[in-house]
């Protein structure tokens, strides 16, 4: 299904769980968003695989940014309940 959607030009996929995202990443090079919260270990893998994570708290967002710094990559996060921070909050992390 993901292959067909990519062929049709779909650029974003949303999944419920981190496990679904990791499985989808194996066959998909497009943007993937995990809608549910993930534990610290899953967050690490998601950031490493360049999968977007929904941040549900400021602490969660800070954790994602810290993981990204450790991995020397840019975290892809969506701040569901912190709309003022938005998707690029890690770039402005000094302010929170």
Q: How far apart are the first and last CA of the chain?
A: 39
Residue pLDDT, tens place only, 18-75: 999 999 999 888 899 999 888 888 989 998 898 988 888 888 888 888 888 888 887 6
pLDDT at residue 94 greater than cutoff 50: no
Pairing of strands 52-55, 31-34: parallel
Start-end of H helices in 8-48: 18-25, 40-48
Could you give the maximum distance between any two Cα atoms of the chain, in Å? Answer: 41
**pLDDT reported for residue 16:** 94
């Amino acid at each position: 299904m993901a292959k067909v959607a990519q062929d049709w030009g779909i650029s974003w996929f949303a999944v419920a769980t981190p496990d679904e995202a990791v499985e989808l990443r194996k066959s998909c090079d497009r943007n993937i968003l995990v809608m549910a919260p993930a534990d610290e270990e899953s967050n690490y893998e998601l950031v490493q695989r360049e999968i977007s994570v929904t941040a549900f708290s400021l602490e969660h967002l800070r954790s994602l940014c810290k993981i990204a710094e450790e991995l020397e990559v840019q975290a892809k996060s969506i701040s569901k309940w912190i709309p003022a921070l938005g998707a690029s909050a890690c770039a402005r992390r000094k302010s929170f």
